[in-house]
Amino acid sequence: MKVLFEFLKNPFYRVAGYTSLVWGVVGMVVATAIAFCGGVHYHGLLHFGGAPNGAWWCFVVEHLVVWLVPAVLIYVSALFCSRSHVRPVDVLGTVAFAQLPFVLLSLLMAIPPIREITSVQTVEEVELLLSDMGRLLLVVWIGLLSLLLTIWVLYWMFRAISVACNLKGRNLWLVFIIGAFGGDVLCRYLIGFCY
Amino acid sequence: MTNRESKKRLPLRCPACDAQLKVSKMVCVQCGTEVSGEFDLPVLTRLNEEEQHFMLEFVKASGSLKDMAKKMGVSYPTVRNYLDDLIEKLNNMAEE
């Protein structure tokens, strides 16, 4: 139990490089398949929901962009901030592994009643939703669970940067902010071309 | 009376003020000759037990980080980070 907890706290202490890359890519393929079946779009690293383009390639592009853009930003900024030799495979692998909770997130968002709620767009539909206490509670739960899963991804990304780039303190936070939040902005811009 | 052997550890820091300790006396256990003076401890002996063990294993693994990672059951960057931190510590010691 303690070993599992330690692993969940920082999986990159034991897993990095090609092993993490294989696990991350497998997770990405599964998450993409679930997202395609459930119509769950990733508009950015931290944004998800419905979107007008339902083509299969759009889901593939979204997942690739959400993985590669933060990874490249982290790698480039780590070249300036880290005193260690940073291997691209460690950054790509650990960032992909850190996004494994997206499988659970896609699964959660693909559940039919949740899909119905997340596809609400008109004012009438929103008013109807607010008047139904049961559905309103479901919205709160979806929000909390998706927030927790997103925090999990961010936490693992933070750990991934710390191990893959050997960063601590201010430099670690700087690279994390560039990778996660700068990555989200850039992802949203790039994915916007798909719609 | 028990005849238990206790493993003595080389003290590296002064227990009173935490300053770096130096060697002031060396003894030949065979003939009893004593040498007095003030000598610095070699850099490697100033590392803690865990770091010295890592250094030994690293040399035995012919300096292969991959082999070290396998032996320690940790990821490659974890070993590399440990080594980088150790190099930085050694550099700081050399500057002292």
Q: State pLDDT tens for residues A76-119.
A: 999 999 988 999 999 999 999 999 999 999 898 888 777 777 76
pLDDT band at B5 (very low <50, low <70, confident <90, very high): low
B73, pLDDT greater than 70: yes
Closest CA to A39 of A27, A48, A30, A29: A48
Number of structural domains in chain A: 1
User: In B, which residues are within 8 Å of A19 by CB distance?
Assistant: 75
Whether ipTM tops 0.85, in short, is no
B1: in domain? no
Per the listing, tokens 């497998």 go with A26
In chain B, % helix, strand, coil (3-state, to 5) comes to: 45, 15, 40
Per the listing, tokens 């994390």 go with A176
d(CA A122, CA A141): 22
Q: A21 vs A113, which has greater pLDDT?
A: A21
CA of B59 vs chain A CAs: smallest distance (Å): 20
A121, pLDDT greater than 90: no
Whether A105 and chain B come into contact, CB under 8 Å, resolves to no
Closest CA to A73 of A167, A189, A180: A180
What would the mean pLDDT of B71-80 be, rounded to a whole number?
94
d(CA A11, CA A156): 8
What local confidence, expressed as pLDDT, does residue B1 receive?
47
What would the mean pLDDT of B10-22 be, rounded to a whole number?
87
- Cα separation values, A6 from A103, A148, A153, B12, B71, Å: 21, 19, 16, 32, 19
Inter-chain CB proximity B77 and A163 less than 8 Å = yes
Terminal CA-to-CA distance of chain A, rounded, Å? 45
Contact A158, A181 (CB under 8 A): no
Number of structural domains in chain B: 1
d(CA A163, CA A152): 17
d(CA A148, CA A151): 5
B3: in domain? no
Q: Six-digit token pair at A102? A: 């997206």
What would the mean pLDDT of A22-41 be, rounded to a whole number?
92
d(CA B95, CA B67): 31
Domain encompassing residue B91 = 43-95
In chain A, % helix, strand, coil (3-state, to 5) comes to: 80, 0, 20
Domain encompassing residue A20 = 2-194
Q: Evaluate the CA torsion angle A65, A70, A73, A79 in order and state its sign.
A: negative
CA of B23 vs chain A CAs: smallest distance (Å): 34
Q: B40 vs A104, which has greater pLDDT?
A: A104
User: In A, which residues are within 8 Å of B73 by CB distance?
Assistant: 14
Contact A163, B80 (CB under 8 A): no
